[in-house]
Amino acid sequence: IRRQRQMCIRDSFKINTGMNRLGFNPQEAKETLKTLQNKSLFKSITLMTHFATADEPKGIDWQLSVFDDIAQHFDFSRSVANSASIVNFKKTHLDWVRPGIMLYGASPIMGQKSSAFNIKPVMQLKSKIIAIQNLSKDDSVGYGETFKAKNDMRIAVVACGYADGYPRHAPTGTPVYVEGKKTLTVGRVSMDMLYIDVTNIPQASISSDVELWGEHIPCLLYTSDAADE
């Protein structure tokens, strides 16, 4: 006796409610879902959309109403909440939530720090100081002479660069943490090195640990948390 096995697929169905990134437009969505709900190939479907302004005064109602107008006609699970709507709009939690930026320990709301939502970092990038350079006023460091010392400075060279996943475009002034203190990068990030100001951290020396992001430094460099450093 040959048994025939039927494959059932669990899948998501994205509805474009105004962000205009991915998904079916509302009219297409209704017609397509009517067809899919009669297909035994799909064991379950989760209806999804994505909010464009959950972190802004406009909020989510303008998109949620479009989504609800479609979802109410179908007995499918629903998922609409991104990080900003998770913390801002409890009514969006529905069956599933989809945290994104908050998983990296960063605040999803401009102007509010991650600590306001008890968000904690989940990853850490650390390296070590491999050299110390003493700059005189007007000396430069790194490619392009993009940074010049306004006064005498003590600069540490850190063994990490864009080849290791550190953003090449991170500007002078990006925060780092070394020897229990926060300080700032200077100059352009190289492939496997970057430079930090340790003028006021005399205990910083070769082999000192440097946290580039983690417990003390948010891993996304242009969040509210980083802006306050």
pLDDT tens column, 102-161: 888 888 988 888 888 888 877 889 999 999 999 999 999 999 999 999 999 999 999 999
pLDDT at site 40: 64
b/e string for 6-19 if b means 16 or more Cβ within 10 A?
eeeeeeebbbbbbe
Q: Which residues face 156 on adjacent strands?
A: 132, 196
pLDDT at 1 over 80: no
pLDDT single digits (tens) 162-175 = 999 999 999 999 99
pLDDT at site 27: 92
Comparing CA positions, the residue from 179, 165, 180 lying closest to residue 221 is: 165
The angle formed by the CA atoms of residues 136, 168 and 154, to the nearest 5 degrees, is 20
pLDDT at 221 over 70: no
pLDDT at site 136: 98
pLDDT at site 4: 41
Query: Cα dist. 225→8, 42, 109, 191, 219 in Å?
Result: 44, 43, 10, 26, 10
pLDDT at site 103: 85
pTM for the full predicted model: 0.73
pLDDT at site 215: 85
pLDDT at site 9: 46
Q: Tell me how far apart the alpha carbons of residues 135 and 115 are, in angstroms, rounded to a whole number.
A: 37
pLDDT at site 225: 56
pLDDT at site 114: 82
pLDDT at 220 over 70: no
pLDDT at 229 over 50: no
Sign for the pseudo-dihedral over CA of 144, 150, 155, 158 = negative
| Half-sphere exposure (Cβ direction) of 135: Cα atoms closer than 13 Å | 25
pLDDT at site 189: 97
pLDDT at 30 over 60: yes
Comparing CA positions, the residue from 1, 33, 227, 200 lying closest to residue 114 is: 227
Residue in this structure with the two tokens 């989510």, named with its chain if needed: 60
pLDDT at site 18: 96
Q: Tell me how far apart the alpha carbons of residues 150 and 148 are, in angstroms, rounded to a whole number.
A: 6
pLDDT at site 5: 42
pLDDT single digits (tens) 79-116 = 999 999 999 999 999 999 999 988 888 889 888 888 88
